[in-house]
Chains A and B, each alone.
Chain A
Amino acid sequence: MTSSDQLAPAPPDPPDRPAAPAAPDNWALFVGFSRIALSGFGGVLPFAYRGLVEQRQWITAAEFAELLAGSQVIPGPTICNMSLMVGFRFGGVRGALSALGGMLAGPFVIVILLGIAHQRVGGLAPVRAALTGMSAVATGLIAATAIKMALPMLRRPGGRTLNVVLALLAFGGLGLWKLPMILVIAVLGPVGVALAYRRDP
């Protein structure tokens, strides 16, 4: 565990990772995750892979996949959970919070600035027209993500029909019939997990 090491000044040469880049300290985590977040237009995950695995080599591709799966099983924003996990690995709880802080601080400020700008000029006809077009594209982006997630499910033969039924029920329940999400998940979630558990050899 490197958490206690991080409280002291970083040693000049980490002995356990001679070839790999030095393990990041909390500040490096904050800066690194800030840069990843600020380049992450339209979803941070692809940029997280580039930044963590390819550019900084803090973790390997296999570790990335593992951490991603773990982040998805835990409730809450996936990318935030992942930031916490990577940060924790290098700097314990402080490292985790540094990484999460980096992920959120810059984008938070930018979004607020956009909000202020929208308040000032949002009523103007050209701005409203531009936003309408942007909204349609944003809708398409989300729909495309849903389709991308659905494709591997459709290619896998086991439980295909049931998966489609579950997805349609979730869509109808939340999108068309406006049921509370807690109800949709509480009813459909256990069914999906139980079916997947039975399919798993």
Chain B
Amino acid sequence: MNGELSPLLSLSLYLALASMMAIGGGVIMLAPDVHSYVVDIHHLITSEQFAAAFTLAQAAPGPNLLFVTLIGWQIGGLKGALATTLAVIVPSSALTLVILRIASRTTDSRLARAFKAGMAPLSVGLLAAAAWVLGTAAGVSFRSGLLVVLTIGFILRTKLNPVLLIAGGAVAGLLGFV
């Protein structure tokens, strides 16, 4: 249509394709790939903007996929937010509805099990990569690393609500700890 839309359009097409690869976990696994695309390759936003979008989406209630919404917002306002969100939702939702309508009674359960079990290690690796990319996107320091480790400890050892931890992170930042 015009030159202004095309980066957004190509980003949306890329996201639509990428969302179909998010198997066995959230769209959060897409974070490293999306970071490469919007920051390193196409320079649509800065690494710091990416980290902010990701963090705000984590702090907000709702599905984690909404970090994509904020990236769209940073690039193209409301139009961008809608475009990137729909790009992530529509293809997989259409597929889900098709599968539901066909009523998957004929699914080979051994193959389905193997699919889940076989993709699980990949999900773990991709999630760890997402943490790595987010952790390094905003710059690394000893203290921010310490905060990461503390958070992991709290999540694994206690039943604290993650929101409290995020709020704690904000306080730590305000007090100049990180």
Contact = CB atoms under 8 A, between A and B. Distances in A.
Given A139-B148, A163-B121, A40 B59 contact: no
B52 A147 contact: no
Interface residues of A, number: 94
B27 interface: yes
Given A38-B61, A77-B65, A142 B127 contact: yes
A133 interface: yes
Contact of B66 (A96, A111, A122): A111
Contacts of A111: 56-57, 60, 62, 66, 69-70, 73
Contacts of A29: none
Given A171-B129, A175-B128, A72 B23 contact: yes
A23 interface: no
Contacts of A173: 125, 129
A141 interface: yes
A112 B73 contact: yes
B42 interface: no
A24 interface: no
Interface stretch (A4-12, A13-21, A102-110): A102-110
Interface range on chain B (Cβ under 8 Å from partner): 35 or more
* Interface SS majority for chain A: helix
B126 interface: yes
Contact of B166 (A42, A77, A144): A42
Interface string A136-168: 111111111111111001000000001110111
A182 B21 contact: yes
Contact of B134 (A103, A142, A185): A142
B95 A40 contact: no
Contacts of A81: 92-93, 96
Contacts of A163: 120-121
A167 B125 contact: yes
Contact of B95 (A76, A106, A164): A76
Contact of B151 (A115, A140, A191): A140
Nearest to A154: B124
Contacts of B38: none
A134 B156 CA distance: 18
B26 A170 contact: no
B32 A174 contact: yes
Contacts of B51: 131, 135
Interface string B52-91: 1111111111111110011001100010010001001101
Interface string A51-69: 0000000000000000001
Given A40-B61, A194-B118, 12 more contacts: A77-B88, A78-B24, A103-B63, A108-B81, A140-B152, A146-B124, A171-B125, A171-B132, A174-B33, A192-B121, A197-B118, A199-B117
Interface of B: 17-30, 32-33, 36, 40, 51-66, 69-70, 73-74, 78, 81, 85, 88-89, 91-93, 95-97, 99-101, 104, 110-135, 137-138, 144-145, 147-152, 154-156, 161-163, 165-166, 168-174, 176-178
16 contacts: A40-B62, A69-B116, A73-B115, A80-B93, A104-B62, A108-B62, A111-B60, A114-B59, A131-B170, A131-B173, A134-B59, A138-B166, A140-B150, A142-B130, A167-B128, A192-B119
